[in-house]
Amino acid sequence: MFKFLNLEPEIFGIDINDSSLKIVKLKRKLRGFDLVSFNELKIKQGVIKEGIIQDQETLANIIKMACVTVKGKRLGTKYAIVSLPEEKSFSQLIQMPKMTGEELKSAVPFEAENYIPLAINKAYLDFQVINSHKENSKHLDLLINVMPKYIVDSYVLCCKKASLMPCILETESQAIARALLKNGNNIPSVILIDLGYDSTNFIIFSGDSIRFTCSIPISSQQLTHAISDGLGVSLHKAEALKIKHGLNKKEKGHDDIDKAIEPILHDLATQIKKYIDFYHGHPFHEDSLSNGKIGKIILSGGGANLKNISDFLSKELKIAVELGNPFTNIISPKNNNFTHKDILSFTTALGLALRGASEQLDNYNNT
Protein backbone atom coordinates (compact mmCIF):
# COMPACT_ATOMS: atom_id res chain seq x y z
CA MET A 1 0.00 0.00 0.00
CA PHE A 2 1.27 3.49 -0.80
CA LYS A 3 0.07 6.35 1.46
CA PHE A 4 -0.09 9.95 0.43
CA LEU A 5 -2.20 12.39 2.40
CA ASN A 6 -3.04 13.53 5.90
CA LEU A 7 -6.81 13.88 5.51
CA GLU A 8 -9.98 12.18 6.71
CA PRO A 9 -12.42 12.52 3.79
CA GLU A 10 -15.03 10.21 2.34
CA ILE A 11 -13.22 7.93 -0.08
CA PHE A 12 -14.34 5.82 -3.05
CA GLY A 13 -12.51 3.02 -4.85
CA ILE A 14 -11.26 3.04 -8.46
CA ASP A 15 -10.15 -0.21 -10.07
CA ILE A 16 -8.17 0.47 -13.26
CA ASN A 17 -7.02 -2.25 -15.64
CA ASP A 18 -6.16 -2.56 -19.33
CA SER A 19 -9.76 -2.94 -20.49
CA SER A 20 -12.04 -1.22 -17.96
CA LEU A 21 -12.41 1.21 -15.08
CA LYS A 22 -14.73 0.47 -12.17
CA ILE A 23 -15.85 2.80 -9.39
CA VAL A 24 -17.45 1.82 -6.07
CA LYS A 25 -18.38 3.95 -3.09
CA LEU A 26 -19.60 2.47 0.19
CA LYS A 27 -21.22 4.16 3.15
CA ARG A 28 -20.83 3.02 6.75
CA LYS A 29 -24.20 2.28 8.38
CA LEU A 30 -25.21 0.78 11.71
CA ARG A 31 -25.58 -2.71 10.26
CA GLY A 32 -22.51 -2.56 8.04
CA PHE A 33 -21.27 -1.07 4.78
CA ASP A 34 -23.81 -0.21 2.11
CA LEU A 35 -23.22 0.24 -1.63
CA VAL A 36 -24.21 3.80 -2.58
CA SER A 37 -22.44 4.44 -5.92
CA PHE A 38 -20.90 2.36 -8.70
CA ASN A 39 -19.94 2.59 -12.35
CA GLU A 40 -18.01 0.84 -15.09
CA LEU A 41 -16.57 2.24 -18.30
CA LYS A 42 -14.61 0.39 -20.97
CA ILE A 43 -11.06 1.47 -21.78
CA LYS A 44 -10.20 1.18 -25.45
CA GLN A 45 -7.28 -0.98 -26.46
CA GLY A 46 -3.91 0.74 -26.26
CA VAL A 47 -4.67 3.27 -23.50
CA ILE A 48 -3.14 0.90 -20.93
CA LYS A 49 -0.94 -2.03 -21.94
CA GLU A 50 0.06 -4.69 -19.41
CA GLY A 51 -0.53 -2.23 -16.58
CA ILE A 52 1.52 0.59 -18.12
CA ILE A 53 -0.41 3.75 -19.00
CA GLN A 54 0.23 4.66 -22.64
CA ASP A 55 -2.22 7.57 -23.03
CA GLN A 56 -2.60 9.64 -19.87
CA GLU A 57 -4.96 12.25 -21.34
CA THR A 58 -7.45 9.64 -22.56
CA LEU A 59 -7.36 7.76 -19.26
CA ALA A 60 -7.85 10.99 -17.29
CA ASN A 61 -10.92 11.78 -19.41
CA ILE A 62 -12.33 8.28 -18.82
CA ILE A 63 -11.85 8.72 -15.07
CA LYS A 64 -13.68 12.08 -15.21
CA MET A 65 -16.56 10.59 -17.19
CA ALA A 66 -16.86 7.61 -14.84
CA CYS A 67 -17.06 9.92 -11.84
CA VAL A 68 -19.80 12.16 -13.21
CA THR A 69 -21.96 9.30 -14.58
CA VAL A 70 -22.00 7.03 -11.51
CA LYS A 71 -25.13 5.04 -10.80
CA GLY A 72 -26.73 5.66 -7.42
CA LYS A 73 -25.74 8.71 -5.41
CA ARG A 74 -23.21 11.20 -6.75
CA LEU A 75 -19.74 10.73 -5.34
CA GLY A 76 -19.54 14.06 -3.53
CA THR A 77 -15.80 13.71 -2.92
CA LYS A 78 -12.57 13.90 -4.91
CA TYR A 79 -10.64 11.49 -2.67
CA ALA A 80 -10.02 7.98 -3.99
CA ILE A 81 -8.23 4.72 -3.25
CA VAL A 82 -6.82 3.46 -6.54
CA SER A 83 -5.66 0.03 -7.66
CA LEU A 84 -2.16 -0.61 -8.96
CA PRO A 85 -1.47 -3.34 -11.57
CA GLU A 86 -0.58 -6.64 -9.94
CA GLU A 87 1.63 -7.66 -12.86
CA LYS A 88 3.94 -4.72 -12.16
CA SER A 89 4.26 -5.29 -8.42
CA PHE A 90 6.68 -7.51 -6.55
CA SER A 91 5.84 -9.14 -3.22
CA GLN A 92 8.12 -11.22 -1.03
CA LEU A 93 7.92 -12.70 2.45
CA ILE A 94 11.16 -12.05 4.34
CA GLN A 95 12.41 -12.58 7.87
CA MET A 96 14.01 -9.93 10.07
CA PRO A 97 15.31 -9.97 13.65
CA LYS A 98 12.82 -8.60 16.16
CA MET A 99 13.10 -4.81 16.34
CA THR A 100 10.99 -1.68 16.80
CA GLY A 101 8.84 -0.14 14.09
CA GLU A 102 11.27 2.74 13.58
CA GLU A 103 14.18 0.32 13.30
CA LEU A 104 12.30 -1.69 10.70
CA LYS A 105 11.66 1.41 8.58
CA SER A 106 15.41 1.93 8.33
CA ALA A 107 16.45 -1.71 8.00
CA VAL A 108 13.86 -3.15 5.61
CA PRO A 109 14.96 -1.21 2.48
CA PHE A 110 18.52 -2.51 2.86
CA GLU A 111 17.33 -6.10 3.36
CA ALA A 112 14.81 -5.82 0.52
CA GLU A 113 17.60 -5.11 -1.97
CA ASN A 114 18.59 -8.77 -1.64
CA TYR A 115 15.20 -9.84 -3.00
CA ILE A 116 13.69 -7.25 -5.32
CA PRO A 117 14.48 -7.30 -9.05
CA LEU A 118 15.02 -3.52 -9.40
CA ALA A 119 17.08 -0.75 -7.82
CA ILE A 120 15.61 0.35 -4.49
CA ASN A 121 15.92 4.05 -5.46
CA LYS A 122 13.65 3.42 -8.46
CA ALA A 123 10.87 1.81 -6.47
CA TYR A 124 8.32 2.56 -3.77
CA LEU A 125 8.49 0.01 -0.97
CA ASP A 126 5.98 -0.83 1.72
CA PHE A 127 5.91 -3.67 4.24
CA GLN A 128 3.55 -5.38 6.64
CA VAL A 129 4.56 -7.22 9.81
CA ILE A 130 2.83 -10.60 9.89
CA ASN A 131 1.90 -11.88 13.32
CA SER A 132 3.87 -14.99 14.20
CA HIS A 133 1.91 -17.93 15.60
CA LYS A 134 5.00 -18.95 17.56
CA GLU A 135 5.22 -16.80 20.66
CA ASN A 136 8.88 -17.67 21.24
CA SER A 137 9.93 -16.84 17.69
CA LYS A 138 13.18 -14.87 17.50
CA HIS A 139 12.31 -13.22 14.20
CA LEU A 140 9.58 -11.22 12.47
CA ASP A 141 7.91 -12.25 9.25
CA LEU A 142 7.42 -9.30 6.90
CA LEU A 143 5.57 -9.08 3.62
CA ILE A 144 7.29 -6.49 1.44
CA ASN A 145 5.56 -4.95 -1.56
CA VAL A 146 7.50 -3.08 -4.21
CA MET A 147 6.34 -1.13 -7.25
CA PRO A 148 8.42 0.85 -9.80
CA LYS A 149 8.11 4.58 -9.15
CA TYR A 150 7.25 5.40 -12.75
CA ILE A 151 4.20 3.12 -12.58
CA VAL A 152 2.91 4.59 -9.33
CA ASP A 153 3.63 8.17 -10.40
CA SER A 154 1.76 7.71 -13.69
CA TYR A 155 -1.43 6.53 -11.93
CA VAL A 156 -1.20 9.41 -9.46
CA LEU A 157 -0.75 11.91 -12.30
CA CYS A 158 -3.76 10.59 -14.24
CA CYS A 159 -5.97 10.85 -11.17
CA LYS A 160 -4.83 14.40 -10.56
CA LYS A 161 -5.49 15.30 -14.21
CA ALA A 162 -9.02 14.03 -13.57
CA SER A 163 -9.27 16.42 -10.58
CA LEU A 164 -9.09 13.58 -8.05
CA MET A 165 -6.81 13.15 -5.07
CA PRO A 166 -5.46 9.59 -4.64
CA CYS A 167 -5.28 9.04 -0.86
CA ILE A 168 -4.09 5.44 -1.09
CA LEU A 169 -2.76 3.30 -3.91
CA GLU A 170 -3.03 -0.43 -3.38
CA THR A 171 -2.22 -3.56 -5.37
CA GLU A 172 -5.15 -5.59 -6.66
CA SER A 173 -4.31 -8.61 -4.49
CA GLN A 174 -4.80 -6.67 -1.25
CA ALA A 175 -8.21 -5.40 -2.36
CA ILE A 176 -9.31 -8.85 -3.60
CA ALA A 177 -8.44 -10.49 -0.27
CA ARG A 178 -10.29 -7.78 1.66
CA ALA A 179 -13.42 -8.27 -0.44
CA LEU A 180 -13.55 -12.07 -0.38
CA LEU A 181 -12.42 -13.02 3.13
CA LYS A 182 -14.43 -12.47 6.29
CA ASN A 183 -13.10 -9.74 8.55
CA GLY A 184 -10.80 -11.11 11.23
CA ASN A 185 -7.59 -13.05 11.56
CA ASN A 186 -6.61 -16.71 11.77
CA ILE A 187 -7.86 -17.70 8.33
CA PRO A 188 -6.67 -21.17 7.24
CA SER A 189 -4.56 -21.23 4.08
CA VAL A 190 -6.67 -20.44 1.03
CA ILE A 191 -5.99 -19.56 -2.59
CA LEU A 192 -7.79 -16.61 -4.19
CA ILE A 193 -7.88 -16.66 -7.99
CA ASP A 194 -9.22 -13.57 -9.75
CA LEU A 195 -9.97 -14.43 -13.39
CA GLY A 196 -9.89 -11.10 -15.18
CA TYR A 197 -10.41 -9.97 -18.75
CA ASP A 198 -6.67 -9.38 -19.28
CA SER A 199 -4.91 -11.62 -16.74
CA THR A 200 -5.40 -13.83 -13.70
CA ASN A 201 -4.26 -12.92 -10.19
CA PHE A 202 -3.08 -15.78 -7.95
CA ILE A 203 -3.04 -15.08 -4.19
CA ILE A 204 -2.26 -17.30 -1.20
CA PHE A 205 -3.66 -15.99 2.07
CA SER A 206 -3.09 -17.55 5.49
CA GLY A 207 -3.59 -16.43 9.07
CA ASP A 208 -3.80 -12.65 8.84
CA SER A 209 -1.91 -11.87 5.65
CA ILE A 210 -1.21 -12.50 2.02
CA ARG A 211 1.70 -14.93 1.79
CA PHE A 212 2.34 -15.13 -1.95
CA THR A 213 1.06 -13.45 -5.13
CA CYS A 214 1.70 -13.63 -8.85
CA SER A 215 0.01 -12.67 -12.11
CA ILE A 216 -0.80 -15.49 -14.55
CA PRO A 217 -0.95 -14.50 -18.27
CA ILE A 218 -4.22 -16.34 -18.88
CA SER A 219 -7.42 -14.36 -19.26
CA SER A 220 -11.11 -14.42 -20.01
CA GLN A 221 -10.53 -12.76 -23.38
CA GLN A 222 -8.24 -15.65 -24.39
CA LEU A 223 -11.20 -17.99 -23.99
CA THR A 224 -13.29 -15.75 -26.23
CA HIS A 225 -10.57 -15.64 -28.90
CA ALA A 226 -10.21 -19.43 -28.74
CA ILE A 227 -13.94 -19.91 -29.38
CA SER A 228 -13.83 -17.36 -32.18
CA ASP A 229 -10.91 -19.12 -33.89
CA GLY A 230 -12.18 -22.63 -33.24
CA LEU A 231 -15.72 -22.06 -34.46
CA GLY A 232 -14.98 -19.42 -37.09
CA VAL A 233 -17.33 -16.85 -35.56
CA SER A 234 -16.95 -13.18 -34.62
CA LEU A 235 -15.57 -12.19 -31.23
CA HIS A 236 -18.99 -10.79 -30.32
CA LYS A 237 -20.65 -14.13 -31.14
CA ALA A 238 -17.87 -16.05 -29.38
CA GLU A 239 -18.38 -14.02 -26.20
CA ALA A 240 -22.11 -14.73 -26.30
CA LEU A 241 -21.48 -18.47 -26.76
CA LYS A 242 -18.99 -18.49 -23.89
CA ILE A 243 -21.45 -16.82 -21.54
CA LYS A 244 -24.39 -19.00 -22.57
CA HIS A 245 -22.74 -22.42 -22.64
CA GLY A 246 -19.40 -22.30 -20.81
CA LEU A 247 -18.07 -25.80 -20.15
CA ASN A 248 -21.03 -28.10 -20.71
CA LYS A 249 -20.25 -31.65 -21.81
CA LYS A 250 -23.83 -32.71 -21.11
CA GLU A 251 -25.24 -30.27 -23.66
CA LYS A 252 -25.37 -31.80 -27.12
CA GLY A 253 -24.02 -29.86 -30.06
CA HIS A 254 -21.53 -27.75 -28.11
CA ASP A 255 -18.48 -30.03 -27.96
CA ASP A 256 -16.61 -27.56 -30.18
CA ILE A 257 -16.81 -24.90 -27.48
CA ASP A 258 -15.32 -27.27 -24.89
CA LYS A 259 -12.58 -28.31 -27.30
CA ALA A 260 -11.70 -24.67 -27.95
CA ILE A 261 -11.38 -23.54 -24.33
CA GLU A 262 -10.25 -26.67 -22.46
CA PRO A 263 -6.56 -26.38 -23.52
CA ILE A 264 -6.43 -22.87 -22.00
CA LEU A 265 -8.11 -24.06 -18.79
CA HIS A 266 -5.74 -27.04 -18.59
CA ASP A 267 -2.87 -24.56 -18.90
CA LEU A 268 -4.40 -22.47 -16.11
CA ALA A 269 -4.65 -25.54 -13.86
CA THR A 270 -1.05 -26.49 -14.65
CA GLN A 271 0.20 -23.04 -13.69
CA ILE A 272 -1.83 -23.05 -10.48
CA LYS A 273 -0.26 -26.41 -9.56
CA LYS A 274 3.19 -24.99 -10.29
CA TYR A 275 2.70 -22.06 -7.92
CA ILE A 276 1.22 -24.26 -5.19
CA ASP A 277 4.30 -26.52 -5.42
CA PHE A 278 6.56 -23.46 -5.34
CA TYR A 279 4.80 -22.15 -2.25
CA HIS A 280 5.06 -25.51 -0.48
CA GLY A 281 8.73 -25.76 -1.37
CA HIS A 282 9.68 -22.49 0.34
CA PRO A 283 9.40 -21.40 3.97
CA PHE A 284 6.65 -18.85 3.31
CA HIS A 285 4.16 -20.71 5.45
CA GLU A 286 6.12 -22.01 8.40
CA ASP A 287 4.19 -19.90 10.90
CA SER A 288 0.84 -19.95 9.11
CA LEU A 289 -2.22 -21.94 10.05
CA SER A 290 -2.81 -25.44 8.68
CA ASN A 291 0.95 -25.81 8.18
CA GLY A 292 0.53 -24.23 4.78
CA LYS A 293 -1.92 -26.86 3.53
CA ILE A 294 -4.37 -25.26 1.10
CA GLY A 295 -7.93 -25.77 2.27
CA LYS A 296 -9.81 -24.41 -0.74
CA ILE A 297 -9.69 -22.15 -3.77
CA ILE A 298 -12.01 -19.15 -4.11
CA LEU A 299 -12.71 -17.74 -7.58
CA SER A 300 -13.58 -14.14 -8.45
CA GLY A 301 -13.36 -11.78 -11.41
CA GLY A 302 -15.55 -11.70 -14.50
CA GLY A 303 -13.99 -14.92 -15.82
CA ALA A 304 -15.33 -16.82 -12.81
CA ASN A 305 -18.79 -16.53 -14.37
CA LEU A 306 -17.83 -19.25 -16.89
CA LYS A 307 -20.26 -22.11 -16.32
CA ASN A 308 -18.79 -25.17 -14.57
CA ILE A 309 -15.31 -23.70 -14.19
CA SER A 310 -15.35 -24.46 -10.45
CA ASP A 311 -16.02 -28.15 -11.08
CA PHE A 312 -13.36 -28.28 -13.80
CA LEU A 313 -10.62 -26.78 -11.62
CA SER A 314 -11.61 -28.82 -8.58
CA LYS A 315 -11.27 -32.02 -10.59
CA GLU A 316 -7.93 -30.96 -12.07
CA LEU A 317 -6.41 -29.69 -8.82
CA LYS A 318 -8.00 -32.11 -6.33
CA ILE A 319 -8.93 -29.13 -4.14
CA ALA A 320 -12.37 -27.73 -3.29
CA VAL A 321 -13.14 -24.75 -5.56
CA GLU A 322 -15.98 -22.29 -5.00
CA LEU A 323 -17.18 -18.95 -6.31
CA GLY A 324 -16.34 -16.04 -4.05
CA ASN A 325 -18.75 -13.53 -2.57
CA PRO A 326 -17.32 -9.97 -2.78
CA PHE A 327 -20.17 -8.86 -0.46
CA THR A 328 -18.88 -11.01 2.40
CA ASN A 329 -18.21 -7.85 4.42
CA ILE A 330 -20.78 -5.59 2.73
CA ILE A 331 -24.57 -5.39 2.84
CA SER A 332 -25.84 -7.10 -0.32
CA PRO A 333 -27.23 -4.52 -2.77
CA LYS A 334 -30.90 -4.27 -3.63
CA ASN A 335 -30.15 -2.35 -6.83
CA ASN A 336 -31.35 -4.48 -9.76
CA ASN A 337 -28.73 -2.90 -12.03
CA PHE A 338 -25.96 -4.61 -10.04
CA THR A 339 -26.19 -8.23 -11.23
CA HIS A 340 -24.45 -11.38 -9.99
CA LYS A 341 -22.12 -11.14 -12.99
CA ASP A 342 -21.25 -7.57 -11.96
CA ILE A 343 -20.53 -8.65 -8.40
CA LEU A 344 -17.67 -10.98 -9.39
CA SER A 345 -16.14 -8.55 -11.86
CA PHE A 346 -16.30 -5.75 -9.26
CA THR A 347 -14.32 -7.71 -6.64
CA THR A 348 -11.25 -5.46 -6.69
CA ALA A 349 -13.28 -2.23 -6.73
CA LEU A 350 -15.40 -3.43 -3.79
CA GLY A 351 -12.27 -4.33 -1.83
CA LEU A 352 -10.82 -0.88 -2.44
CA ALA A 353 -14.06 0.81 -1.41
CA LEU A 354 -14.19 -1.27 1.77
CA ARG A 355 -10.89 0.14 2.89
CA GLY A 356 -11.90 3.65 1.90
CA ALA A 357 -15.12 3.45 3.90
CA SER A 358 -13.66 1.80 6.99
CA GLU A 359 -10.29 3.41 7.54
CA GLN A 360 -9.56 6.72 9.24
CA LEU A 361 -6.89 8.41 7.14
CA ASP A 362 -4.74 9.87 9.89
CA ASN A 363 -0.97 10.02 10.03
CA TYR A 364 -0.60 9.74 6.26
CA ASN A 365 2.36 11.60 4.80
CA ASN A 366 2.53 13.52 1.55
CA THR A 367 4.94 12.22 -1.05
Question: What's the CA gap between 11 and 32, in Å, rounded?
Answer: 16
Q: What is the pLDDT of residues 227-262, one digit of tens each?
A: 999 999 999 999 999 988 888 766 665 678 999 999
User: Nearest Cα to 333, choosing from 97, 35, 44?
Assistant: 35
pTM (two decimals): 0.89
DSSP 111-143: HHTTT-SS-GGGEEEEEEEEPPS-TT-SEEEEE
Are 197 and 302 a contacting pair, CB within 8 Å?
yes
Rounded Cα distance, 38 and 127, in Å: 30
Rounded CA-CA distance 174/98 in Å is 25
Per residue in 115-156, pLDDT (tens digit) is 888 888 899 998 888 765 555 667 888 888 899 999 999 999
Residues 3, 359 contacting (CB under 8 angstroms): no
Question: Which 3-state string (H, E, C) describes 51-90?
Answer: CEECCHHHHHHHHHHHHHCCEECCCCCCEEEEEECHHHCE
User: Which pLDDT tens digit goes with each residue over 203-231?
Assistant: 999 887 888 898 999 999 999 999 999 99
Is residue 26 within 8 Å of residue 72, measured between CB atoms?
A: no
CA distance 240 to 68: 30
